[in-house]
Structure 1
Amino acid sequence: MTQSQALTILKTGANVFLTGEPGSGKTYLINEYVAYLRAHEIEPAITASTGIAATHIGGFTIHSWCGIGIKKQLEKRDLEKIASSGYIKKRVNRAKILIIDEISMLLPGTLVMVDAVCRKIKGSAAPFGGLQIVLVGDFFQLPPVVKNEEENVLIKEVSARFAYDSPAWSAANLTVCYLSEQYRQDDATFLNILTAIRCNRFGEDHLCHIEKRKIQQHLAPARAPKLFSHNFDVDRVNEEMLAKLSGEVKAFLMLSKGPRPIVDALKRGCLSPEKLCLKIGAEVMFVKNNLKEGFVNGTLGRVEAFDKTSGWPIVKTRNGRKIQTEPMDWVIEEGGITRAQITQLPLRLAWAITVHKSQGMSMDEAVMDLSGVFEFGQGYVAFSRVRRLAGLHILGWNEKTFLVHPEILSKDKIFRARSSRAKEFLSDMAGAELAKRHENFIVFCEGNLKANENLVQKIGGRWEKKEKIDTHIATFTLWNERKNIAQIANARNLAESTILGHIERLTKQGKIDRDDLSRILTPTPAKALPQIHAAFRELGADALSPVFAKFAGKYSYDELRIARMMYQK
């Protein structure tokens, strides 16, 4: 299913399970849906199963949102107490749409408790009290962490660790939207390896590619982040590497305001530490998105200097951009009012990071020690962080690295089949009927039928007016993040031909080097570039159709267009 088809289904108000492989655009699609709702003056409840995921999306943990906290089960008096809480009651009553991200990390019993709280407060027997429920995630990702002493109790309550086994999941009658497009990996061989692991078809032919990426510790790229299974390895490497650098340590302390429990939850979910120690030469990773400044969550760089006036670090990213990095806010908002806030530089030391904390990140390259993998899917998550096979540097692995949960394999087939049926149902529905369903859901949510396109989502959930920005510059920023044409078009919700036009203009302006265009040219026309350029000299470069005809359609117009950009008369 495409993102557009899934968004169309979401707009009808159907309960949805949104899934897909890493890099298929789940988070992007949810952001599009949230922006659509806010344009119609509807504020969704945005939550996630973990603190880190909640921090990424600027929302609550689902435990905090519905007041269940760390409870493993709800007794009647617990439910009554939660339902009588003024702010919880107001929060749930005001909600029309509940989004839960990283659903794979949520225990089935927790989903039952969320359902019970919503029904109680809404005074409705309907699943989740009649809310539109949108569950987002990929069960091939890391499953919930269960403490050993709780295993027996949990097994008595439910038969498995996965949210889809919850009776609340079944009652919600979820439409499955399985995204099929890929926007992260741009390497066909690597994508085949990831798909093979996901489908339990990983064999010798795939292993031979992995073995070619195995390296010795002393040959590891110095600047590539290192992924480990355990926290103690990460802390050890980062501390050792920082200590090796000469020069003065600069410490940056996190600021906070708001109720302590909420602030503590924000801190637990924030990838920036409470005390960030840096030196010139420190390898760092940005942990928030700021497209205007030229970085996203996962952008890598090195501390070049500290500003003489402000003292803030100046980071040089891998693409050569220098960014004076200033503190950013992580907030939890409710009804447009900030409940809690923490402020810190959006950086962390990036010589090493755990596989768990790497979820949601995209990296150009990474060094991985997977010899300590202890959970199904941990190796798959680690591999899928990087965009291409050449960016994979492996120190070691164990027998569990290439395994995914056997139960998930069979469940995945069911999800794919249900998504196909939903896609067929959507294609059979008349446009007028779809438009009516979209309109009816806006009315149900008490929204404004006339969309206010000047309202957009800001990180952290605030509304603000759209900032005017040169459309070519926005494309240029994404180009500098090494994104390909499809990824830029997807991020900007524009046609690929439009993005090509931007790149052509930027090339003529000298902002994009002609030699750098080779990375978006496929191998076949790249090898034939001298012949194509000879054809331009013979037939002229103003019109592409004569050259297209000369090669009998062997090269597409887009390929010829890129070749023309690289052509110097």
Structure 2
Amino acid sequence: MVSATLFSFISDMFSIIQQQTIAFGGLNVIIVGDLAQLPPVTGSPVYKSSEWKLFYPLFLKELQRQNQDMQYYNALQEIRFGNISITTWTILYEKENNFDHNKPLNTILNITNIVGYNQTANRINNIICNMLPVNEDKFLISSAIDYIDNQQYNPDDTQKLFKKKTNLSSHLCLQQGARVMYLKNNLIDQNIYNGTIGVITDLDLQNLEVRIAFSVKGGIIDIGIKKETATFMINNGKPSSRCQFPLQNAFALTVHKTQGLTLPEVSVTSLHPSTFITDKSMIEEYKRLEQKAAVPLPL
């Protein structure tokens, strides 16, 4: 979810561009989202911004993804709002108890492990990558090349400073058969977006190029990916950069990274009740919007 600060910042930028003092520079704006998604990592939720109250809500009611499985849909709705019935808890615990921890490798490679923390995702990704066979030394641990004020730094030391400036990874495990996620939107013309998942088919260690097969609408696209450099400022204007492949290992991903993705098979690591705690202020805002949406707009 977008934070209130970022939402107001976007409004202010449009006001500057339009040279108008009113919200969003007087432009007509449509915002699309789901308040029941995860809250912003830092800052207040979007509905705490002053601009939020200017919008008229519309609710989309027609099912798209889960219209063939109403039991699953109802469970998701209960989880979204933290009002989980005994029936849904029973389904969740049955799934947990029936999980086969000795699945064959080909099954493990096709399951996305959804976890709460980057450290957990990194451990799972490293474990599964270590299980993959290595052909003809087609293997690369790619560490980011980081600079701050023209001085090179270890990416482990810069990660806390850089993570809010770039989504490029500090370290990557690249080898044939490894599942990775693309992190940019510059291949939209080929239906490859930030969040598209593919499998590495080959590595050219001499030219530092990774070939990846992405499953997209209409077929499979095999494309070469090279390192890119992101530049930005940190610490009172110090010029900084990170050079890395725009990829992320994707056998395991954090719940934040999987929002909005359609994944065929997943494994969720925690079913503790605290996992499903919902922000009460979000519930209150959702109810307020429903009441507002029930009142027709004046024509």
Q: TM-score, normalised by structure 1?
A: 0.39
Aligned to 2:130: 243
1:240–1:197 Cα change, 3 Å = closer
Alignment of 1:363 onto 2:260: no
Question: Of residues 180, 197, 214 in structure 1, which corresponds to 2:79?
Answer: 197
Alignment of 1:180 onto 2:61: yes
Letter in 1 for 2:91: H
How far, CA to CA, are the matches of 1:207 and 1:399 in structure 2?
9
Question: Of residues 175, 181, 202 in structure 2, which corresponds to 1:285?
Answer: 181
Letter in 1 for 2:61: S
How big is the shift at 1:291?
A: 5.8
1:93-492 aligned within 5 A: 102-103=1-2, 106-107=3-4, 126-127=22-23, 130-132=26-28, 134-146=30-42, 161-170=44-53, 173-188=54-69, 189-214=71-96, 215-219=99-103, 221-223=107-109, 224-247=111-134, 248=137, 249-251=139-141, 268=164, 270-288=166-184, 290=187, 293=190, 295-306=192-203, 312-316=209-213, 321=220, 323-327=222-226, 345-370=245-270, 397-421=271-295, 424-425=296-297
How far, CA to CA, are the matches of 2:220 and 2:20 in structure 1?
54
How big is the shift at 1:356?
A: 1.9
1:294–1:212 Cα change, 3 Å = farther
How big is the shift at 1:240?
A: 2.8
How far, CA to CA, are the matches of 1:285 and 1:113 in structure 2?
29
How big is the shift at 1:163?
A: 3.2
How far, CA to CA, are the matches of 1:328 and 1:182 in structure 2?
40
Percent identity, aligned pairs only?
A: 22
How big is the shift at 1:350?
A: 1.2
How far, CA to CA, are the matches of 2:250 and 2:209 in structure 1?
18
Q: Is the 8 A contact 1:299 1:363 kept in 2?
A: no
How big is the shift at 1:166?
A: 3.6
Letter in 1 for 2:268: M
How big is the shift at 1:359?
A: 2.5
1:323–1:169 Cα change, 3 Å = same
Letter in 2 for 1:143: P
How far, CA to CA, are the matches of 1:331 and 1:416 in structure 2?
42
Per-residue CA deviation, residues 178-217 of structure 1 (Å, 9 max, x unaligned), is: 3334444454232221112234442122223323322254
Task: Find the structure with the greater CA-based Rg.
Answer: 1
How big is the shift at 1:134?
A: 4.8
Q: Is the 8 A contact 2:126 2:173 kept in 1?
A: no
Letter in 1 for 2:113: K
How far, CA to CA, are the matches of 2:272 and 2:196 in structure 1?
29
How big is the shift at 1:222?
A: 0.8
Alignment length (residue pairs): 269
Letter in 1 for 2:210: P
How big is the shift at 1:229?
A: 0.8
How far, CA to CA, are the matches of 1:309 and 1:245 in structure 2?
22
How far, CA to CA, are the matches of 2:180 and 2:45 in structure 1?
34
1:191–1:118 Cα change, 3 Å = same
How far, CA to CA, are the matches of 2:92 and 2:213 in structure 1?
31
1:129–1:250 Cα change, 3 Å = same
Q: TM-score, normalised by structure 2?
A: 0.68
Three-state SS of the structure 2 residue aligned to 1:362 is coil
Aligned to 1:337: none
Q: Is the 8 A contact 1:267 1:274 kept in 2?
A: no
What RMSD over aligned residues (CA atoms) do the two structures have, in Å?
4.4
How far, CA to CA, are the matches of 2:206 and 2:45 in structure 1?
52
Q: Is the 8 A contact 2:208 2:226 kept in 1?
A: no
Letter in 1 for 2:176: I
How far, CA to CA, are the matches of 1:318 and 1:120 in structure 2?
41
Q: Is the 8 A contact 2:166 2:230 kept in 1?
A: no
Per-residue CA deviation, residues 41-90 of structure 1 (Å, 9 max, x unaligned), is: xxxxxxxxxxxxxxxxxxxxxxxxxxxxxxxxxxxxxxxxxxxxxxxxxx
How far, CA to CA, are the matches of 2:133 and 2:169 in structure 1?
22
1:186–1:114 Cα change, 3 Å = closer
Q: Is the 8 A contact 1:283 1:303 kept in 2?
A: yes
Q: Is the 8 A contact 2:182 2:197 kept in 1?
A: yes
Higher helix share: 1
Letter in 2 for 1:303: I
How big is the shift at 1:250?
A: 2.3
How far, CA to CA, are the matches of 1:227 and 1:135 in structure 2?
27
Higher relative contact order (CA 8 A, sep 6+): 2
How big is the shift at 1:112?
A: 6.0
How far, CA to CA, are the matches of 1:316 and 1:293 in structure 2?
12
Higher strand share: 2
How far, CA to CA, are the matches of 1:269 and 1:366 in structure 2?
29
How far, CA to CA, are the matches of 2:130 and 2:243 in structure 1?
26
How far, CA to CA, are the matches of 2:58 and 2:34 in structure 1?
11
Q: Is the 8 A contact 1:199 1:409 kept in 2?
A: yes
